[in-house]
Structure 1
């Protein structure tokens, strides 16, 4: 036993020595007299890009200059355009540039890219002590089910809140006897939206991310939407109970006009008065309008009311966790090491708080999050938007009372998410068009909607979505 103990101790000493030598060797990879360029692709635009670029410049002029690193940050458009650009680069598509050293990515896209071009296992460059500084559930989002390793470093995270035009909501709520509690559940939201439609002929509410709604609805009602396998595959697990809830509290209110979605983003609908409320990303808080333009001559200033994400009355308190992290493409040691140095610097609280507070994202380290430090900074005037401050406050409540959930990446997860985002809303659009056409021919709206939202129609849709989802995943 003593010999065995000595052997274990000796192995530990050797491993520590190897790690130390590896660390020392990496220090010699960089030379300030011969700087290397680290290419970084992201999807930030507008104010987010301005803030990110300023932080990149700060790094290049300080740490980067001292160590011989120049970070070249390039926006690839929106997150979908970025995902396509990275995927094309990984596949070496005609006309595609080489893979960047660092790229922002959601887990679904990172997983499929890693099947083509290997990504860096972060545990090779981040110590366990360094990894422990990140909020655990944020870090876990970057772990792949195939080997249980971390491939995505959290940079800034988000969830979803309920955004409300307070200026219009308060007089309506007072007149009809509603309170903010009625906005805390999906059942209450439908009730409020129905009353608003009957009073005004307009929709009250919209859902910004349809896929998130379905994924979270399933979790709130007790089941994951996907069954995962360690081989990197998954099966679709939409139960009849969850499907019926989605039908009753998503499809049906949209069909009756209680919910509405006409713009690309729900904040666009809030800006022109199409709706009074919507669920949207906390990272989009800055896009909540400060005024509503009903037409060129009728423009009204508004105040934000931001509340925690709604739940089913008999469901669990669960909301989505999302936000692209950063992946490092496996290449030569110098570029990988330089990439890790930048990401470690960027996620330290001073830099990370500056980025988060200006954009509506959550910082990702325990130090920045614990004790509501990010809310204190925002409330002290370090955020440029009242909606961002209100979103941080609502989200802090969610940190304490909700479970934040993210679906795991798997083969076909990118495609199935796109399918969920488009499938039901496309059906709603097509069905509303058919109602409009039949009404032009003197059809009865009530009878048409009753037929389209019937149990028979639900059963047909449930069979269709099950079949299409299973077929999509079998192809991957």
Structure 2
């Protein structure tokens, strides 16, 4: 029915101010390495515009992390899901995984990339990012304004650019889209459905749908800018750019989509969230430390080590291996593929969460030992005993004073009673004389 690929969508209005101040060019966004470097410049430029340190803004975000992982690995010479006869084998080398990590996780933790809204077009609208990579069909959702605050907004224009690729790599584009199925029914109804689909995919009809939705036509005759421009349909400049860039990607790049396999949807979700969720959580932790007065470099250092990457890589391989078609043993085999490393990783029985928890427990144990040592060497126990004895002595003294006062009061009452008796007798004697 319709197909799509991925493009880069840029808030050109705010980009122009940055480009004029720094000399940044559209060409800088043509490679992943150039995009990351430009994002770093944008963060520094926005940071320098305020007096608050380390409060720069992100340049870029992604809609589909699984596509980044799959297409990025393919460009770098690795097919993550190798499928033969419906059976999948994980094939993610450490070198490829590190390249993917360095061009998404690292800039994300540094604040150069971001992803806060449900879709990156939401982040464009709130000014969280200037650009994102997403499906060409998502361009219809690109906002026309940036809402900086409840009272401040400004109009923006869209610039469409090709999806950045890794420098020196093969040009690969994701192939995806929407389709229709014909459910089992009567022969007449099934024939009617087929007739409708044939009509729908005729060039003139498919072009009309593509222009209205931002998708690409599905036939070679319709998937052509000359045919689209000659269709007589009203095309905006933005839609022309979208379709032209998307058609160029389809025609001049190797198209790739993973072959289906058992559990493929769930395995794709692992690629979607494994790196992106970790990056979001770690960036939030970095921002908390910056707010507490820690420098950005110091706060980020914990997450940018080789060991931290290695833990993530092994964890990813462990999760993906659960979707392999058979439980073959890799014992005794050598190499650097993810699955082979995964078995050793499983034997260690460790994960990123496990390492963090273990570190926290060690810190807690050390604090307890220091507390015990401090108590034993600072006479705290003996001092507490002395204080308790002093308190007890004081309580005894107070109780004795209380009882003494009661006895004195009782003596005073006896004296009063004697006086009353004496006065009464004197009064009675006088009365009897009378």
TM-score where L is the length of structure 2? 0.69
Evaluate the alpha carbon distance shift between residue 280 and residue 171 of structure 1 in structure 2; reply closer, same or farther with a 3 A threshold. same
Partner of residue 243 from structure 2, selected from 392, 401, 405: 392
**Could you say which residue in structure 2 is the equivalent of 1:422?**
273
**Could you say which residue in structure 1 is the equivalent of 2:20?**
174
Q: What runs of 5+ residues in structure 2 fail to find an aligned partner?
A: 47-55, 328-434
Alignment of structure 1 residues 349-364 onto 2, 5 Å: 349-364=203-218
Is the deviation greater in 251-260 or in 163-172? 163-172
Tell me the alpha carbon deviations over residues 353-389 of structure 1, each in whole angstroms, 9 at most, x when there is no partner.
Answer: 1111000001111211246422554xx6523x54322
Query: 1:328 is paired with a residue of what secondary structure?
Result: coil
Partner of residue 163 from structure 2, selected from 297, 309, 312: 309
Matched, 1:404 2:255: yes
Matched, 1:157 2:3: yes
Partner of residue 460 from structure 1, selected from 311, 328, 336: 311
**Could you say which residue in structure 2 is the equivalent of 1:35?**
none
Q: What is the CA distance between 1:444 and its match in structure 2?
A: 4.6
2: CA distance, partners of 1:189 / 1:424: 18
**Could you say which residue in structure 1 is the equivalent of 2:115?**
261
Query: 1:369 is paired with a residue of what secondary structure?
Result: coil
Query: 1:157 is paired with a residue of what secondary structure?
Result: strand
2: CA distance, partners of 1:320 / 1:175: 34
Evaluate the alpha carbon distance shift between residue 466 and residue 370 of structure 1 in structure 2; reply closer, same or farther with a 3 A threshold. same
Evaluate the alpha carbon distance shift between residue 435 and residue 475 of structure 1 in structure 2; reply closer, same or farther with a 3 A threshold. farther
Is the 8 Å Cα contact of residues 166 and 305 (structure 1) preserved in structure 2?
Answer: yes
Evaluate the alpha carbon distance shift between residue 339 and residue 361 of structure 1 in structure 2; reply closer, same or farther with a 3 A threshold. same
**Could you say which residue in structure 2 is the equivalent of 1:345?**
199
1: CA distance, partners of 2:42 / 2:118: 23
Partner of residue 208 from structure 1, selected from 63, 69, 83: 63
Tell me the alpha carbon deviations over residues 133-173 of structure 1, each in whole angstroms, 9 at most, x when there is no partner.
Answer: xxxxxxxxxxxxxxxxxxxxxx1111011001111112311
Query: 2:176 is paired with a residue of what secondary structure?
Result: coil
**Could you say which residue in structure 1 is the equivalent of 2:234?**
382
Alignment of structure 1 residues 218-237 onto 2, 5 Å: 218-230=73-85, 232-237=86-91
**Could you say which residue in structure 1 is the equivalent of 2:35?**
189
TM-score where L is the length of structure 1? 0.63
Evaluate the alpha carbon distance shift between residue 456 and residue 253 of structure 1 in structure 2; reply closer, same or farther with a 3 A threshold. same
Is the deviation greater in 344-353 or in 205-214? 344-353
Is the 8 Å Cα contact of residues 168 and 276 (structure 1) preserved in structure 2?
Answer: yes
2: CA distance, partners of 1:300 / 1:371: 32
1: CA distance, partners of 2:96 / 2:302: 21
1: CA distance, partners of 2:288 / 2:21: 35
Is the 8 Å Cα contact of residues 108 and 114 (structure 2) preserved in structure 1?
Answer: yes
Evaluate the alpha carbon distance shift between residue 174 and residue 461 of structure 1 in structure 2; reply closer, same or farther with a 3 A threshold. same
Q: What is the CA distance between 1:401 and its match in structure 2?
A: 2.8
**Could you say which residue in structure 1 is the equivalent of 2:297?**
446
2: CA distance, partners of 1:188 / 1:375: 33
Partner of residue 366 from structure 1, selected from 214, 220, 231: 220
Alignment of structure 1 residues 17-416 onto 2, 5 Å: 155-200=1-46, 201-230=56-85, 232-370=86-224, 372-377=226-231, 382-383=234-235, 385-416=236-267
Q: What is the CA distance between 1:226 and its match in structure 2?
A: 1.0
Q: What is the CA distance between 1:437 and its match in structure 2?
A: 4.4
Is the 8 Å Cα contact of residues 345 and 351 (structure 1) preserved in structure 2?
Answer: yes
Query: 2:239 is paired with a residue of what secondary structure?
Result: helix
**Could you say which residue in structure 1 is the equivalent of 2:380?**
none
Query: 2:9 is paired with a residue of what secondary structure?
Result: strand
| Number of residues of Structure 1 aligned to a counterpart in Structure 2 | 318
Is the 8 Å Cα contact of residues 222 and 228 (structure 2) preserved in structure 1?
Answer: yes
Is the 8 Å Cα contact of residues 363 and 374 (structure 1) preserved in structure 2?
Answer: no
2: CA distance, partners of 1:376 / 1:309: 27
**Could you say which residue in structure 1 is the equivalent of 2:339?**
none
Query: 2:180 is paired with a residue of what secondary structure?
Result: strand
Query: 1:340 is paired with a residue of what secondary structure?
Result: helix
Q: What runs of 5+ residues in structure 1 fail to find an aligned partner?
A: 1-154
| Superposition RMSD in Å | 2.0
Q: What is the CA distance between 1:448 and its match in structure 2?
A: 3.1
Partner of residue 434 from structure 1, selected from 261, 266, 285: 285
Q: What is the CA distance between 1:335 and its match in structure 2?
A: 2.7
Is the 8 Å Cα contact of residues 4 and 246 (structure 2) preserved in structure 1?
Answer: no
Is the 8 Å Cα contact of residues 8 and 134 (structure 2) preserved in structure 1?
Answer: yes
